[in-house]
Chains A and B, each alone.
Chain A
């Protein structure tokens, strides 16, 4: 008997000690939120996308039902929705795997001065019993603009291959995403005649000094005069190279660690990182045609497919080849002559007039036309460039460098920016106020102040002891702080920052 009790006691002990706490292994609750409590519209807006976001990707498909109530607004006369909501409810379907969904608010009339006009949308029900409302269960869509003084921005750079460069304007909270392989060169619209390269695509260019005949230069050509350049050998040690033919030159033209250059002689095949007018790879375009020589342009690298593994990046694809380019100017417009490097018969010629509304007019050599890239010069403050390349020095190594997660600010347009490093006596981001602004710290002559130092790619963290103060062209002051450079799934190229007007 005694033995049986003992045995049972030990068996019980075994069972108890083999238990463990399993909490935390299941999926978190699925909740649905409106992306913001209020949405403003302007007079020009005829429709507005209203977003509902989820606490996690939906594990099964379902439907969200919304209701609405109008203040001085009637369905059918003042607004409609897509999907249709004439019945009083709007059914929005969700597919498995979705992180958010949206519907369209179509504006049929405008606000009448002196009276408020708005529509409030509320979450009514779900067809999935385990879905629930989050904290923002309704949103008010106003017929007038709602001034945004702060916000959280999820950048649209597009993931681990960073296909897009993104321009952001703080005062209008507007994000403009442009695929970074749509242009190679850009013409400066100011008084000087300057040509910039696309650093987000690792475009580089070399002047064939003394040569003005575009068609005479091919890969088989000799250079008019040998060039004394520096490169790196296989062991990453600096090595002097003398280049006397085009084919030798091409070995060191594309941006890579082995790119040639000679900083002492002022020879760099990329624009400088700072983005100053004096630092372009192209010499200033002269209004005297004979002073403008032929350039060989490396068109950079294709945008590759996304990285296969979470947490890594894939930004440099196959080389996009070379073109020869010659740019002329009359002071009010640029004339670009260009052809494939092998071409000896004829070249293309396009004339681009200066447009004072923009800093730069981007041009695609592959399509032979101008491309809309930057917003007008007052309507962007920072450029979340993603990829960024230049020839320069990093940790003692002078080479063609390619960065990821790079951020620039609009120095050509007059935006000022400085970095605050948190240390003894320096306020934290949350505590920084207008009185703390140091007017003399704003940098107007170096676009690369933010650069990539805001994140630690090796550890996968944000550099938490820095944030940034920005002054836009209209004199508005903002502080902004990065909160993420990966998605929650760990994919690179998904930046997030929070900002507040001071």
Chain B
């Protein structure tokens, strides 16, 4: 397959150049510093994009060290540890999406250096988080709450910003990082075709005091999870006939990902320019569980075949960010981005006994989108006033593309759609006194699909002391209807399912109240406690409804009929004490859903409880750090509309725990050993999984993990001049 060949070629090229470089440099590398980047987080060239949101909202940070602890290769490996985020993998498509405060991935916006990321058929939301590679990531910022004013549509539950590492961490001219990671998938592991195999390489170079460049690549070859399934070459033949026992294929299909990236960070005068290019390629084969048992009419012998599929996604991202002073302390921040995403769909007949492709049904580009994006803002516009300040900005987004799958398999007109956004926003600072500030903000959106929309926010902070602070945030945001909800089309003699192009966006409102206090317990220990209360109100929530069309036929479509309210309380504590770091957080959250507001079926608040804890301990004498993370995801319930009114469906509770040890073998070489999913979670009973008119039997469940897995990561880091 072409992807594989490309990958190997790419890596070989890398290695020859890398080995050459290493040999050149060996004479002059006496003065390497200790492995600084693993011991301490050094923020270099910090992005200014998020500085305002830190003032206005509560921001959680996952830094490089946290990522290294769990040997995270992509975002799905680490987001699970966030108290209010649940990662839900879809084993058949290989996608993992998140839910935040019980709201699914469509309500969460994912940004890379402040720029929304192209997703399957949108911009920024409903991202497959396994596609976000963490190799050149400085830190991940998680902002909670409806942030429509600063980030536009779909930032309803919150925003996840991935901040790229800029420059080099120390005074060396070159830095080379190589790592390999071998991981089991449950108990499945083989050098090539079972388990997970990750290779990374990154080379950074400081051209001058003001300019640095980096290039790198990462390959994540996940051979999938069999879990009792027998793989693609399995068929059960009895008495000269194929018996479909549904054991062919895999529980979790394989996935091969390749990321290549480069970036340039430079300063011209006081202006900082950061350019990033990233190429991403992913290949996911989907093996059919069912086998076509046609007999060879010549021989009368079975010639079993299966209709398999392959999804290949390609994405190219070019991001440019320029910041600098405009006049005195007034600064500007300008981002430009061009992103393309293409998904190729191949369907073919796989001959099981002969281990090869018999014929190819289709091999097409099934989805394509191209995005032009720009955002700019000017902050600190009134620097000479203590009492009042202002930030003004714009956001522009132009997206063209088509999605043959989201418009439905039966759609005969796969048309190219264009979506355009012009947004203007402003946030004011009113510093009433030293302790009390108010930040009102507003954004005006003009969208080519649903017209004009105004959203707003109001934040206030009150600092009782340097260590005791209260923050209150009201924010609004909206979720734009997705491609499928707008344009889906499946009409034949028995079906009449159509999207609704007249849908309105869902209005989201959130209220957050944060009380934070820091306690200094001794010279070397500190406790931080945060108490949060939050409330979300999503009105005009899009749900599927049954109506009738102009020919009086039943029409299954979508409308803005539901409403969801979420109320929650959380308490997060973190303690640092000598060599110990510990955290304990818990959330108690309830959701009330009104199904079809006109019929007024509304549920009580359905409550769930989550708990998250992490513990780490370092042993400097042997250069080793130990860590463990635990997350309890409580039973979650949702209201579903059934045939006889509404019913409550639920996903049972489960506990996830990881543990790892990381040690520096030499000053350049470190080793991480760990275990994921220590409690061996695979499927969790769930009565809220969707079942259609053609639902199949079996106890409904959701797949969350692929059994207890072990990993080993070897990282080689070389600094030289």
Residues 10-37 of A, flagged 1 when their CB comes within 8 A of B and 0 if not, give 1101111111111111111100011110
Known contacts A4-B26, A234-B554, A486-B292: A136-B299 contact under CB 8 Å:
yes
A35 to B295, CA, bound (A): 12
**Cβ contact within 8 Å between B11 and A18:** yes
**Cβ contact within 8 Å between B546 and A428:** no
Which residues of the partner chain A approach B668 to less than 8 Å between Cβ atoms?
3, 6
Q: Within the complex, what minimum Cβ distance (angstroms) separates A468 from chain B?
A: 14
Stretch of A51-59, A163-171, A182-190, A434-442 at the chain-chain interface:
A51-59
> Which residue of A has the minimal Cβ distance to B548?
A234
- A460 on interface, CB distance cutoff 8 Å: yes
A498 to B293, CA, bound (A): 12
Which residues of the partner chain B approach A234 to less than 8 Å between Cβ atoms?
548, 552-554
**Cβ contact within 8 Å between A15 and B11:** yes
Most buried by A among B295, B298, B409: B298
**Cβ contact within 8 Å between A134 and B298:** yes
**Cβ contact within 8 Å between A7 and B19:** yes
A431 to B295, CA, bound (A): 18
> Which residue of B has the minimal Cβ distance to A59?
B359
Q: Within the complex, what minimum Cβ distance (angstroms) separates A79 from chain B?
A: 23
Stretch of B162-170, B235-243, B475-483, B680-688 at the chain-chain interface:
B235-243
**Cβ contact within 8 Å between A4 and B299:** no
Which of these, B244, B292, B696, contacts A458 with CB under 8 Å? B696
Stretch of A105-113, A203-211, A488-496 at the chain-chain interface:
A488-496
Those of B160-216 within 8 Å (CB) of chain A: 178, 180, 182, 191-193, 197, 199, 201
Q: Within the complex, what minimum Cβ distance (angstroms) separates B237 from chain A?
A: 12
Contact residue range for chain B?
Answer: 35 or more
A84 to B221, CA, bound (A): 56
- B595 on interface, CB distance cutoff 8 Å: no
Which residues of the partner chain A approach B307 to less than 8 Å between Cβ atoms?
310-311, 489-490
A86 to B351, CA, bound (A): 39
**Cβ contact within 8 Å between A490 and B357:** no
Which residues of the partner chain B approach A382 to less than 8 Å between Cβ atoms?
none
A340 to B351, CA, bound (A): 53
Which residues of the partner chain A approach B180 to less than 8 Å between Cβ atoms?
10, 13-14, 17
**Cβ contact within 8 Å between B15 and A464:** no
Which residues of the partner chain A approach B694 to less than 8 Å between Cβ atoms?
458
Which residues of the partner chain A approach B696 to less than 8 Å between Cβ atoms?
458-459
Q: Within the complex, what minimum Cβ distance (angstroms) separates B260 from chain A?
A: 14
**Cβ contact within 8 Å between B239 and A56:** no
A57 to B197, CA, bound (A): 36
Most buried by A among B232, B240, B256, B492: B492
Which residues of the partner chain B approach A314 to less than 8 Å between Cβ atoms?
492
Interface size on A, residues (CB 8 A): 73
**Cβ contact within 8 Å between B356 and A27:** yes
Stretch of B1-9, B107-115, B336-344 at the chain-chain interface:
B1-9
> Which residue of A has the minimal Cβ distance to B495?
A312
Q: Within the complex, what minimum Cβ distance (angstroms) separates B524 from chain A?
A: 36
Which of these, A19, A28, A461, contacts B8 with CB under 8 Å? A19
**Cβ contact within 8 Å between A461 and B356:** no
Which residues of the partner chain A approach B300 to less than 8 Å between Cβ atoms?
150, 152, 498
**Cβ contact within 8 Å between A7 and B716:** yes
> Which residue of B has the minimal Cβ distance to A57?
B359
Which residues of the partner chain B approach A311 to less than 8 Å between Cβ atoms?
307
Known contacts A136-B298, A489-B361, A496-B295: A461-B1 contact under CB 8 Å:
no
Which residues of the partner chain B approach A461 to less than 8 Å between Cβ atoms?
244, 290
- B129 on interface, CB distance cutoff 8 Å: no
- B447 on interface, CB distance cutoff 8 Å: no
> Which residue of A has the minimal Cβ distance to B490?
A312
Known contacts A11-B178, A135-B299, A458-B694: A428-B244 contact under CB 8 Å:
no
- B515 on interface, CB distance cutoff 8 Å: no
Which residues of the partner chain A approach B387 to less than 8 Å between Cβ atoms?
none
Which residues of the partner chain B approach A19 to less than 8 Å between Cβ atoms?
8, 192
Which of these, A7, A27, A489, contacts B22 with CB under 8 Å? A7
- A245 on interface, CB distance cutoff 8 Å: no
Which of these, B182, B223, B244, B305, contacts A464 with CB under 8 Å? B244
Those of B292-308 within 8 Å (CB) of chain A: 292-300, 302-303, 305, 307
- A429 on interface, CB distance cutoff 8 Å: yes
Which of these, B182, B239, B361, contacts A430 with CB under 8 Å? B239
- A308 on interface, CB distance cutoff 8 Å: yes
Q: Within the complex, what minimum Cβ distance (angstroms) separates A151 from chain B?
A: 8
A489 to B294, CA, bound (A): 11
- B358 on interface, CB distance cutoff 8 Å: yes
**Cβ contact within 8 Å between B298 and A135:** yes
Q: Within the complex, what minimum Cβ distance (angstroms) separates A60 from chain B?
A: 14
Residues 60-85 of A, flagged 1 when their CB comes within 8 A of B and 0 if not, give 00000000000000000000000000
Which residues of the partner chain B approach A402 to less than 8 Å between Cβ atoms?
493
Which residues of the partner chain A approach B18 to less than 8 Å between Cβ atoms?
7, 11
Residues 25-50 of B, flagged 1 when their CB comes within 8 A of A and 0 if not, give 01001000000000000000000000
A482 to B513, CA, bound (A): 66
**Cβ contact within 8 Å between A496 and B294:** yes
Residues 247-291 of B, flagged 1 when their CB comes within 8 A of A and 0 if not, give 000000000100000000000000000000000000000000010
Residues 308-323 of A, flagged 1 when their CB comes within 8 A of B and 0 if not, give 1111101110000000
Q: Within the complex, what minimum Cβ distance (angstroms) separates A321 from chain B?
A: 17
> Which residue of A has the minimal Cβ distance to B2?
A25
Q: Within the complex, what minimum Cβ distance (angstroms) separates A156 from chain B?
A: 13
Which residues of the partner chain A approach B295 to less than 8 Å between Cβ atoms?
152, 483-484, 496, 498
A56 to B232, CA, bound (A): 19
A185 to B2, CA, bound (A): 57
Which residues of the partner chain A approach B290 to less than 8 Å between Cβ atoms?
459-461
Which residues of the partner chain B approach A460 to less than 8 Å between Cβ atoms?
290, 292
Q: Within the complex, what minimum Cβ distance (angstroms) separates B688 from chain A?
A: 22
A53 to B305, CA, bound (A): 17
**Cβ contact within 8 Å between A18 and B219:** yes
**Cβ contact within 8 Å between A17 and B191:** yes
Q: Within the complex, what minimum Cβ distance (angstroms) separates B667 from chain A?
A: 10
**Cβ contact within 8 Å between A26 and B7:** no
Which residues of the partner chain A approach B302 to less than 8 Å between Cβ atoms?
483
**Cβ contact within 8 Å between B554 and A18:** no
**Cβ contact within 8 Å between A256 and B412:** no
- B233 on interface, CB distance cutoff 8 Å: yes
**Cβ contact within 8 Å between A310 and B347:** yes
**Cβ contact within 8 Å between A462 and B11:** no
> Which residue of A has the minimal Cβ distance to B492?
A314
- A124 on interface, CB distance cutoff 8 Å: no
Most buried by B among A8, A14, A316, A430: A14
**Cβ contact within 8 Å between B199 and A428:** no
- B718 on interface, CB distance cutoff 8 Å: yes
- A347 on interface, CB distance cutoff 8 Å: no
- B52 on interface, CB distance cutoff 8 Å: no
**Cβ contact within 8 Å between A55 and B219:** no
Known contacts A310-B307, A461-B290: A235-B178 contact under CB 8 Å:
no
A interface with B by C-beta (< 8 Å): 1, 3-4, 6-8, 10-11, 13-29, 33-36, 53, 55-57, 134-136, 150, 152-154, 234-236, 256, 308-312, 314-316, 402, 428-431, 458-462, 464, 481, 483-484, 486-490, 496, 498
Identify 17 residue pairs between A and B in the complex whose beta-carbon atoms are under 8 Å apart, listed by A's number. Answer: A6-B669, A13-B180, A21-B193, A24-B355, A28-B351, A53-B297, A55-B354, A135-B299, A152-B295, A152-B296, A235-B546, A458-B696, A460-B290, A483-B242, A486-B292, A496-B295, A498-B300
B interface with A by C-beta (< 8 Å): 1, 4, 7-8, 11-12, 15, 18-19, 22-23, 26, 29, 178, 180, 182, 191-193, 197, 199, 201, 219, 221, 223, 232-233, 238-244, 256, 290, 292-300, 302-303, 305, 307, 347, 349-351, 354-359, 361-362, 409-410, 412, 492-493, 546, 548, 552-554, 668-669, 694, 696, 714, 716, 718
Q: A22-B4, A256-B493, A430-B240 are in contact. List 5 more A-B contacts (CB 8 A).
A: A7-B18, A21-B193, A57-B359, A136-B299, A316-B492
- Nearest 9 pairs of A and B residues by beta carbon: A28-B356, A430-B239, A316-B493, A28-B354, A484-B294, A56-B358, A490-B307, A33-B298, A488-B305
